[in-house]
Chains A and B, each alone.
Chain A
Amino acid sequence: MESILEVERLVKKYGSFTALDGISFRIPKGRVIGLLGPNGAGKTTTIQMLLGITTHTSGDIKYFGKDFVKFREISLKRINFASAFNTLQGRITVWENLIIFAMLYGVKNPEKKIKELSNYFEMTELLNQVYWNLSAGQRTRVNIIKSLVNDPDLILMDEPTASLDPDIADKTLSLIEELKKTRDLSILFTSHDMKEVTRICDEVIFLDHGRIVAQDTPIGLTKRIDTADVYITFDGEKELIEKSLQRQNENFTFVTKNIVSIHSQEKNIPKLIFSVNKLNIEITDIEIKKPTLEDVFLQIARRESDAT
């Protein structure tokens, strides 16, 4: 599959501190890659270097097979960036800001493009508003419009839905999915919302202390945790279940006198339910909570933090 971005042994040092320690990854065409990690893991530094506003100490960045340092302008023309934390020129209107960025990217017929995007993001009414008069959510939408103004092949998105209301956040994610499908758009996506990451990312890279500590599909990553939580709601004597679980050496707690939570190996769950079912009690509900990407994130972050 054609690579849009290739990162090879990327290192960033600030004096004696190593912010990025030789990371390598690639983004194939049409794939959404999530870049996750705790604060200070190196996500922002990586994005800044990929955009050329921070220089790397060593390693290579290639866009569309070409060296980014040598082909900066050609590369930047085909990529863009969106973040909830970046703002545009505050004193001028949304329309004026977007026209300026369209010109910087050399967009043909910028008026038509801006109108199309504004219409999709329900921003048409606000085009003549001064940027500083917009709410945080409206500013984020303008930033996303700006990131699409040059029809990029790759967008680097740093928490693009932060501060958006759920409806617009969902619309943004739907647009990302649609663009990925219809235009084969590639995205490098950072977010603290693991549900978003699970929804739109084809692959996730976990960064910690400047190193890649895990890289897999969201499902592949959750499969790394082989335990799950089983919640059994029952009608009967609590002691019967307690004794049965103790015999099986299960790790459990009673949430209420009628609900028991069991933290068990996934492979043992069928046997566990079968054994409880054999007891002289009525089971009214069984809920199995499988590990999520958030659990994986917490596990990795805590493991790395313990190791240091």
Chain B
Amino acid sequence: MCSYKLLEGSPMQLNTIMAILLQEFYHTRKSLEVFMDLFFYSIMTLIIFGYLSTFLINSANPIIAYSLLSGMILWEIVRVGQYSMSVGALWNVWSRNLSNMFITPLRIREYMLASMLSGTLKSLLIFLLISTAAIFIFNFNIFSVGILNLTLHFINLTCFSWSIGIFILGLIFRFGTRIQALAWGLIYIFQPLVAVFYPLNILPDSIQKIALAFPATYTFEAIRANLVNPRVDWQSFTVALFLNIFYLIFSLWFFNLMFNQSKKSGQFARMEG
């Protein structure tokens, strides 16, 4: 009867968006798990990839080494953004607080926007942290590819992380903790597919065709090209952006479908950790 329309109705309220952001802030500040998953994991991965790259610089083509390190740094934008959206919702499910929040005037689009903002802020923070660490520890300056290039790559990878995050949110709202492993695991299906650490042409032809359906593939190809030539590849950026728009629309539609089915089946009200 009362299906929930994601994009209709009165304007969004700032107070509800701020409330969700504040909850994320309070929780991130106090949770050792979130600290480990975001900051510790990113720093440790940087150290491993940093030393691997140092080894490769001394024994092979330095560009290959820098490709690995830049791929790793940019991949964290996708991982952290998606993790923040999906696991942020799971913390409320585990606390049996998710339905409490949706019996307030909070609307799903406000919750979604706040989650996207929170994920973006965390991605940006981690990106700046590990990029700075890479300069000081491994003498690798990712900013040398140009601020405009990095900004465009950040936009596309953030949008991609939102699409995956929203898709997983839909599954969490529909199936609860039964699918919680996907909140950490699903993203890694994309890591080999979108050619994070190697050129696209390494992949078999059939897989390349699939890889080109994902916006992140264009971004990782572009950053590798930027390491040699910092010219902005507007064509790759535009293709990735349009693909991102498509995936965002699809994930929002999917989320809406899952949320309505969850409310219809009574799963949403029963959701608990």
Interface stretch of the complex, out of B10-18, B64-72, B121-129:
B10-18
The answer, yes or no, to whether A69 is at the interface (CB within 8 Å) is yes
B269 engages A53 (CB within 8 Å): yes
Residues of B within 8 A of A307 (CB): none
Distance (whole angstroms) from the CB of B29 to the closest CB of chain A:
9
Q: Interface majority SS on B: helix, strand, loop or mixed?
A: helix
- A89 CA to B101 CA in the complex, in Å? 10
Contact among B1, B94, B104 for A55, CB-based, below 8 A? B1
Contact among A57, A76, A93 for B103, CB-based, below 8 A? A76
Do A54 and B269 form a contact, CB below 8 Å, given A73-B107, A87-B97, A103-B22?
Answer: yes
B1 engages A92 (CB within 8 Å): no
The answer, yes or no, to whether B40 is at the interface (CB within 8 Å) is no
Do A100 and B96 form a contact, CB below 8 Å, given A53-B269, A91-B31?
Answer: no
Residues of B within 8 A of A53 (CB): 99, 102-103, 263, 268-269
What per-residue 1/0 map shows which CB atoms of B87-117 lie under 8 Å from chain A?
Answer: 0000110111101111111110000000000
The answer, yes or no, to whether A51 is at the interface (CB within 8 Å) is yes
- A106 CA to B14 CA in the complex, in Å? 9
Contact among B2, B30, B99, B104 for A68, CB-based, below 8 A? B2
B2 engages A52 (CB within 8 Å): yes
- A136 CA to B268 CA in the complex, in Å? 24
Residues of B within 8 A of A101 (CB): 19, 100, 104
- A45 CA to B269 CA in the complex, in Å? 9
Residues of B within 8 A of A206 (CB): none
Chain B CB within 10 Å, residue with most, of A45, A59, A74, A90: A90
A104 engages B260 (CB within 8 Å): no
A103 engages B15 (CB within 8 Å): yes
The answer, yes or no, to whether B266 is at the interface (CB within 8 Å) is yes
Residues of B within 8 A of A48 (CB): 266, 269
Residues of A within 8 A of B268 (CB): 53-54
The answer, yes or no, to whether B27 is at the interface (CB within 8 Å) is yes
Chain B CB within 10 Å, residue with most, of A56, A91, A105: A91
The answer, yes or no, to whether A283 is at the interface (CB within 8 Å) is no
Sorted nearest first, the 7 A-B pairs with minimum C-beta distance are A103-B19, A69-B2, A104-B104, A48-B269, A73-B105, A51-B103, A90-B95
Q: Which residues of B are at the interface with A, using a C-beta cutoff of 8 A?
A: 1-3, 9-10, 13, 15-16, 18-20, 22-23, 26-27, 30-31, 91-92, 94-97, 99-107, 260, 263-266, 268-269
Given contacts A52-B103, A87-B95, A104-B16, 18 further A-B contacts (CB under 8 A): A55-B1, A55-B260, A57-B1, A58-B1, A68-B2, A73-B9, A86-B97, A88-B100, A89-B23, A89-B27, A89-B95, A90-B95, A91-B95, A96-B23, A100-B19, A100-B22, A103-B18, A105-B104
